Amino acid sequence: MDYIQVSVTGISGDGGEILMARMAELGFESFTETEDGLQGFIPVDLYDEQAVCGWLQKYSAESGIFFRKELVKAQNWNAIWESGYEPVVIEGRCMVRAPFHEPKPGVEFDLIIEPRMSFGTAHHETTSLMISMLMEEGVAGKRVLDMGCGTAVLAILAHKMNARSVVAIDNDEWAYANAQDNIVRNDAKPILVLQGDASAIAHPAYDLIIANINRNILLQDIPVYAGNLATGGVLLMSGFYEDDLLSIRAAAGEAGLNFISHRVINSWTGAKFTR
């Protein structure tokens, strides 16, 4: 799949976080921070020239940023990631590394992830939040669903934590293929990967659902997650800012879920709910 890359420079203060949040609402799926700004990536078939450029031009006039767009062929993505992809260790327990990195002795969970064009390397705050929250859960023996799985990093971690079963779903064909490859790479073949959205959820009662997506999708699909969560089950969500927590909590409450806790890294937020 080809992507449109929008590069933004001249960002100041917390402008990068505001920009990423708005671009995510416009359909951008992943971001890379650069020395002088950020790069956002959106599938060509989801790119709306009028909506994206119209908003960026307005934002540029208000904030003084500069932006440019270009087509990124799918085969170029590995080179882009590998040029700056360093391993990440979360809480000293979980290491997320590329196949070309050496393992670190003493790490409890060693996850080998080749991102390609998929989201989920633990470099982004939301993935790091979800890894930390997942490691706090008693996953052993539970039925787990990873929605918007991206690279399948969270699904693979759940498998390594001895989940009873793990299903990973993503609507992007590139993420679907990438997830399958990473599952084989991590000897986690029992994980079932499906391509689709929330309508692809088939199991009626998961013990744990993980959803690291954007705010709009979460708000839309929370009722579906709640309907597929076993009594006493846990829903972990991230992909939104702290300012969005009230709306996330409200939607979850309307769906019959109870808010338990949340945590924040650089305004990005992860939240836990139970049914």
Mean pLDDT of 253-265: 96
Q: Which of 45, 128, 144, 52 is nearest to 93 (CA)?
A: 128
**Which pLDDT tens digit goes with each residue over 56-95?**
888 788 778 888 888 877 655 556 555 556 788 999 999 9
**Rounded CA gap, 243 and 248, in Å?**
10
> Are 13 and 108 within one domain?
no
> Are 43 and 123 within one domain?
no
**Which pLDDT tens digit goes with each residue over 155-175?**
999 999 999 999 999 988 888
The pLDDT of residue 43 is 85
> Are 206 and 173 within one domain?
yes
Instruction: Please give the tally of structural domains in the chain.
Output: 2
The pLDDT of residue 80 is 59
The residue ranking higher by pLDDT, 25 or 260, is 260
The pLDDT of residue 166 is 97
The residue ranking higher by pLDDT, 137 or 29, is 137
- The model carries a pTM of 0.75
Is a pLDDT exceeding 90 seen at residue 115?
Answer: no
> Are 54 and 100 within one domain?
no
> Are 63 and 116 within one domain?
no
Is a pLDDT exceeding 80 seen at residue 12?
Answer: no
> Are 117 and 188 within one domain?
yes
CATH number at residue 215: 3.40.50.150
CATH number at residue 36: 3.30.70
> Are 94 and 174 within one domain?
yes
> Are 230 and 249 within one domain?
yes
- Residue that finishes a domain, picked among 54, 72, 90: 72
> Are 177 and 237 within one domain?
yes
The pLDDT of residue 11 is 78
The pLDDT of residue 17 is 73
Mean pLDDT, the chain, rounded, equals: 88
> Are 15 and 109 within one domain?
no
SS (H, E, C) the chain: CCEEEEEEECCCCCHHHHHHHHHHHCCCCEEEEECCEEEEEEEHHHCCHHHHHHHHHHHHHHHCCEEEEEEECHHHHHHHHHCCCCCEEECCCEEEECCCCCCCCCCCEEEECCCCCCCCCCCCHHHHHHHHHHHHCCCCCCEEEEECCCCCHHHHHHHHCCCCEEEEEECCHHHHHHHHHHHHHCCCCCCEEEECCHHHCCCCCEEEEEEECCHHHHHHHHHHHHHCEEEEEEEEEEEEEHHHHHHHHHHHHHCCCEEEEEEEECCEEEEEEEC
The pLDDT of residue 139 is 95
> Are 152 and 262 within one domain?
yes
**Is the alpha carbon torsion for 117, 123, 124, 126 positive or negative?**
positive
Residue indicated by tokens 């995510």: 24
**Which pLDDT tens digit goes with each residue over 172-226?**
888 898 899 999 999 999 999 999 999 999 877 999 999 998 888 999 999 999 9
Is a pLDDT exceeding 60 seen at residue 114?
Answer: yes
- What domain range includes position 64? 3-72
- Residue that finishes a domain, picked among 72, 97, 120: 72
The pLDDT of residue 22 is 81
Cβ count near 84 (within 10 Å): 10
**Rounded CA gap, 55 and 61, in Å?**
10
The pLDDT of residue 204 is 74
Confidence at 19, pLDDT banded by 50, 70, 90 = confident
- Residue that finishes a domain, picked among 45, 72, 99: 72
> Are 126 and 41 within one domain?
no
